[in-house]
Structure 1
Amino acid sequence: MMTDTTGTRTRDRSDDGPWVVAGVDTHKDTHHVAAGSAATGAGLGDMQVPATPAGHDQLHDFVRSRGRIRMIGIEGTGSYGAGLARALRAAGAPIREVIRPKRSQRRRGKSDPIDAYAAAGRALAEADALPVAKTGTGPCEQIRVLLVERRSAMKARVAAHRQITALLTTAPDAVRTRFARLSGGELIGALARTRPAPTADTPASTTTRTLRRLARRHRILTDEITDIDTELRALTARAAPTMLATKGYGVITTATLLVTAGDNPDRIRSEASFAALCGAAPIPASSGRTNRHRLNRGGDRQANWALHQIALVRLSSDPRTKVYAARLTATGKSRKEILRCLKRAIAREAWHLLTHPRPAPRTDDLRRLRHERGLTLTQAAHHLNTHPARISELERGTRPDTTLTAAYRQWLSTQQPQTHTT
């Protein structure tokens, strides 16, 4: 249905007629769309439109003019086709992401119309198997942008630190001796505070000025990363508070998994699909009498890294994970095999946390309950086998932990409140 200039609801001609499917070959400046019959697969025409909001509307009108839209397959919904996917989704068009074919599969040659018709053909033939595109309109898209910035800042800071180390190694003796006993933050701070003579024309003065500039660059990047981490913590706490409060999940690992799932995690149909997306699903490699699986080197490598970091944290500090690892070790599995099994289990857990989120346990009343019972942070930490600072972080909500919160609350419930007499 559509509304005319008088506000009256009229029937859109696309509500009648044959069903059509379309495919879009996306580029930086233009998109090429091709439409085909959903019944016969016959081509119904193609056109090129600019990659602008007006071009997106023009593309949608072109497909609707051919009949009722069953599906539009778009190549590159995470890159050149991101804006088009958002525009078509807002217009109510059913869209799917079409994977670009390999070069070896392009037997009919390559051109924009050929690629667009091929995308339409895959949308028609593989409608149920094609992945649902990310919406890119919520906090996960914000997190993705921040992670892109953070990775570049981290690489630049590492590069600056390496350059400082290399220059100090080859610096004149006076410069090298002056900073020989310093390292880490102390070294960066000392270099940033130096005041070399601006007019001195010696290798030592030039090296000192260069080291000061690199140290100040290092400081600027550190401040930038700190600001990014603050934003990421707030966004992840809003998007996935339960995941952030689960043992082993930090801000960066949670943010990475959120970006992998997208703002519409229900697009991932099963936990097995999510594990495959993260490259944590082992691939069968059996032949004859050999029955085994091999490592999956595909999938989202950033998500695989996040699962690996969570597995390492749990192996070092989670009693249940240690018991699980000991049981697998007894069966003859190596540490690499144990990590693969653990990452697969964590992928299953992460999928449930993303698609079936539960409210995070409240922690804002823990400090009050502890004070009512006359208990100190040291007493609570001693009972829970942790540090007082960790209990303080839990009470302030700066570092949530579902398991520790439950144990802390249970222990507080067994303590009697103090009664004050006058």
Structure 2
Amino acid sequence: MAAAAVEGIVGTDQNVFAGVDSHTDTLHVAVISDNGGHLADAEFTTTPAGYAAALAFIDAHGNVTAIGVEGTSSYGAGFTRAACSRGHRVIEVNRPDRAERRRIGKSDPIDAYAAARAALSGRASSAPKYDTVTGIRALHNAARSAVKARTAALNQIGSILISAPETIRSKYGPLNSMDRTHALARIRPTGDAVHIAVLTALKALARRVKELTTEHEALTKAIDTAVTADNPGLRATYGVGPDTAAQLLITAGGNPERMRTEASFAALCGAAPVPASSGRTNRHRLSRGGDRAANAALYRIALVRMAGDARTREYAARQTAAGRTKKEIIRLLKRAIAREIFRCLTTTVNVPEIADLRPLRQSKNITLSAAARHLGVWPSRISDVERGIRRLDDLTHAYRDWLQTA
């Protein structure tokens, strides 16, 4: 089909735009002229040969100005890499909104032509996401599915105990989640047929919970290693854990420079206020767009900082005194955090070296308590700094200076 699609096309010097609607096994390509006229469309396979044939089909119609692709980091990733390697300008295209879909319908050719028109009109202008965070995305998805499966198993245990025989319910019902799991994983089902069946099911679910917990912990360590190697400055930022850092890197993609300003990153995360003014009303409303997983990551960072960061707590207290609600304060914090995360993603952030702190302290026979007493902090704070659990640059520099002179 690919060869037949290219056959008979006469070369021309006109400027053209292309659109690609990508799927698992096929991609549909449409070509339009620079005034929006439909030229041709064809379907190709998602294989190296199919990508080459699709690009030859596009090139045969004229000088290619840009190619709009739906799903540059998912179904269209292979075609995007092939097109970029050929020197084409690829633009990431979001699917048409629902109103347009209702008006013109939906099919592969319709979506491909819509992608081409989006590239022509400038409605789509974002550079594609380079898939250099594939490993982090795979680990993150696996860890997230482990958590979901673990939660489902815990819920099943609770559901079974609701209707379980009274002896089983009274024994295991009052226990907290972890104690119950450990107890059920060790039981030996005995009694009549009903008791044996219920206890066998509970034991299987409890063992599943323990296995998934161990699996999640291993995946979290692997994620931590991967995100620290990819962006140590982001991982070292206060309140950013392995899961949060992974999500922000996935949202930004492997080429965060495609986001021109920190405002564009805030909009991508759904943390940029949207104007909602009309007549005498002048206000902004909460953005409900963007990547909601990234928005949730910013929310978690805000909660961590409100709980443990002195500057954030002082800021929250000032805003509370000014009459703002907790929801409004968190929205303000998410916008400020998005600005800080953008700097970590687009610039090199120097992270203080910590590997030498503990050996240096131990070589001088200084205890954690003595170091903490001198610096006026809790010993756990010094331990966190030595192990890299918490980034406190000022304390790290002061600690190193004191150790070197002690």
- The alignment's TM-score, normalised by the length of structure 2, stands at 0.90
Q: Secondary structure at the match of 1:321?
A: helix
Tell me what 1:407 maps to. Answer: 395
Aligned position for 1:189: 182
Aligned-pair RMSD on alpha carbons?
A: 2.3
Distance in 2 separating the partners of 1:163 and 1:385:
48
1:232 to 223, 229, 237: 223
Q: Distance in 1 between matches of 2:326 and 2:357?
A: 39
Deviation at 1:384, TM superposition (A): 5.0
The structure-2 alpha-carbon separation of the partners of 1:225 and 1:32, relative to structure 1 and needing over 3 Å to count, comes to same
Identity level (%): 48
**Quick check: 1:23 aligned with 2:19?**
yes
Counterpart residue identity of residue 25, structure 1: D
Residue number in structure 2 paired with 1:95: 90
CA offsets, 1:256-299, max 9 Å, x none?
A: 11111011101111111111111111112222332221111111
Within the candidate set 274, 279, 282, 1:283 is matched to 274
CA distance in 1, matches of 2:257, 2:50: 30
Q: Is the 8 A contact 2:90 2:127 kept in 1?
A: yes
Contact 2:299 2:330 in 1 (8 A): yes
- Give the aligned residue type for 1:306: A
Q: 2:31 aligns with which of 25, 30, 35?
A: 35
State the match for 1:123 in structure 2. Answer: 119
For the residue of structure 2 that corresponds to 1:113, the secondary structure is: helix
Which 10-residue stretch deviates more, 140-149 or 155-164?
140-149
> 2:42 is matched with which residue?
47
Whole-angstrom CA distance in 2 between matches of 1:52 and 1:304? 35
Distance 2:221 2:32 in 1: 49
Question: In the superposition, relative to structure 1, how do residues 175 and 372 fare at CA in structure 2: closer, same or farther (>3 Å)?
Answer: same
Provide the C-alpha distance between the structure 2 equivalents of 1:110 and 1:193, rounded to a whole number of angstroms: 55
What SS does structure 1 have at the residue aligned with 2:119? helix
Residue 41 of structure 1: how far off its partner (Å): 3.6
SS in structure 2 of the partner of residue 269 of structure 1: coil
The answer to whether the Cα contact below 8 Å between 2:385 and 2:396 also exists between their aligned partners in 1 is no
Q: How has the CA–CA distance of structure 1 residues 331 and 266 changed in structure 2, closer, same or farther, with 3 Å as cutoff?
A: same
Shift of 1:118: 2.4
The amino acid of 1:89's aligned partner reads C
Structure 1 residues 250 and 111, CA, compared in 2 at 3 Å: closer, same or farther?
Answer: closer
TM-score, normalised relative to structure 1? 0.87
Q: Does 1:147 align with 2:140?
A: yes
Identify which range, 21-30 or 109-118, moves more after superposition: 109-118
Following TM superposition, by how much is the alpha carbon of 1:172 offset from its aligned partner in structure 2, in angstroms?
A: 1.7
How big is the shift at 1:181? 5.5
- The aligned amino acid for 1:147 is H
Give unpaired runs (5+ residues) of structure 1. Answer: 1-12
Counterpart residue type for residue 62 of structure 1 = F
> 1:320 & 1:102 partners in 2: Cα distance?
42
Structure 1 stretch 335-344 or stretch 279-288: which is displaced more?
A: 279-288
List aligned pairs for 1:20-419, cutoff 5 A. 20-38=16-34, 40-106=35-101, 107-126=103-122, 129-136=124-131, 138=132, 140-180=133-173, 182-197=175-190, 201-383=192-374, 387-397=378-388, 399-401=389-391, 404-414=392-402, 417=405
Alignment coverage as a number of residue pairs = 396
Distance 1:120 1:176 in 2: 62
Task: Specify the code of the residue in structure 2 equivalent to 1:76.
Answer: G
Alpha-carbon distance in structure 1 between the residues aligned to 2:228 and 2:333: 25
Give the secondary-structure state (helix, strand or coil) at the position aligned to 1:22: strand
Which 5+ residue runs of structure 2 have no aligned equivalent? Answer: 1-9
What letter corresponds to residue 159 of structure 2 in structure 1? A
Give the corresponding residue for 2:7: none
Which one is further off, 163-172 or 278-287? Answer: 163-172
What letter corresponds to residue 155 of structure 2 in structure 1?
Answer: R
Is this contact kept in 2: 1:370–1:412, CA < 8 A? no
Compare 207-216 and 66-75 and name the one that shifted more: 66-75
